[in-house]
Chain A
Amino acid sequence: DSGVTQTPKHLITATGQRVTLRCSPRSGDLSVYWYQQSLDQGLQFLIQYYNGEERAKGNILERFSAQQFPDLHSELNLSSLELGDSALYFCASSVAWGHEGYTFGSGTRLTVV
Chain B
Amino acid sequence: EDQVTQSPEALRLQEGESSSLNCSYTVSGLRGLFWYRQDPGKGPEFLFTLYSAGEEKEKERLKATLTKKESFLHITAPKPEDSATYLCAVQGGSNYKLTFGKGTLLTVNP
Contacts and interface: CB of A to CB of B under 8 A. Distances in A.
Interface string B70-108: 000000000000000001010100011111111100000
Contacts, number: 56
Among B32, B42, B46, B98, residue most surrounded by chain A Cβ atoms (within 10 Å): B98
Contact of A42 (B34, B43, B45, B103): B103
B96 A101 contact: no
A4 interface: yes
Nearest to B99: A45
Given A42-B102, A43-B87, A101 B46 contact: yes
Interface of B: 31-32, 34, 36, 41-46, 49, 87, 89, 91, 95-103
> Which 10 residue pairs spanning A and B have beta carbons closest together?
A98-B96, A104-B43, A42-B102, A43-B100, A45-B97, A101-B46, A100-B49, A104-B44, A106-B43, A105-B43
Interface of A: 2, 4, 33, 35, 41-45, 48, 55-56, 58, 90, 92, 97-98, 100-107, 109
